[in-house]
């Protein structure tokens, strides 16, 4: 269900370099987080690359980018 899906460029994140997401699930065995962006699109974000040192938790809001090729966590958002 979280793999490649049909849709437009926004579905795959093509053309986007930064997205805001919410962590929905952490999959330790695959070393990734399943997230949903502000447009409701699901994406997998690697947890292998750690740039912030902040522990990831379900429900957190983050900016993710493709600086290293794959989506990775760039900055935690504390919007409340």
Q: Which residue has the tokens 């740039």?
A: 51
Summarised one tens digit per residue, pLDDT across range 41-79 is 999 999 999 888 899 999 999 999 999 989 999 999 986
Summarised one tens digit per residue, pLDDT across range 18-43 is 999 999 999 989 999 999 999 999 99
- Domains recognised in the chain with CATH numbers: 9-77 (2.40.50.140)
The pLDDT score that the predictor gives to residue 14 is 55
16, 10 Cβ separation under 8 angstroms: yes
Calpha distance 48→5 (Å, rounded): 23
Residues contacting 80, CB < 8 A, separation 6+: none
Give the angle 73-50-34 at the CA atoms, nearest 5°: 45
């Amino acid at each position: 269900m979280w793999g490649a899906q049909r849709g437009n460029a926004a579905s795959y994140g093509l053309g986007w370099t930064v997205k805001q997401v919410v962590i929905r699930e952490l999959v330790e065995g695959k070393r990734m987080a399943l997230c949903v962006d502000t447009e409701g699109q699901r994406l997998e974000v690697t947890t292998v690359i750690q740039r912030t040192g902040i522990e990831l938790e379900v429900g957190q809001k983050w900016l993710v980018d493709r600086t290293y090729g794959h989506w990775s966590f760039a900055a935690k958002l504390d919007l409340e």
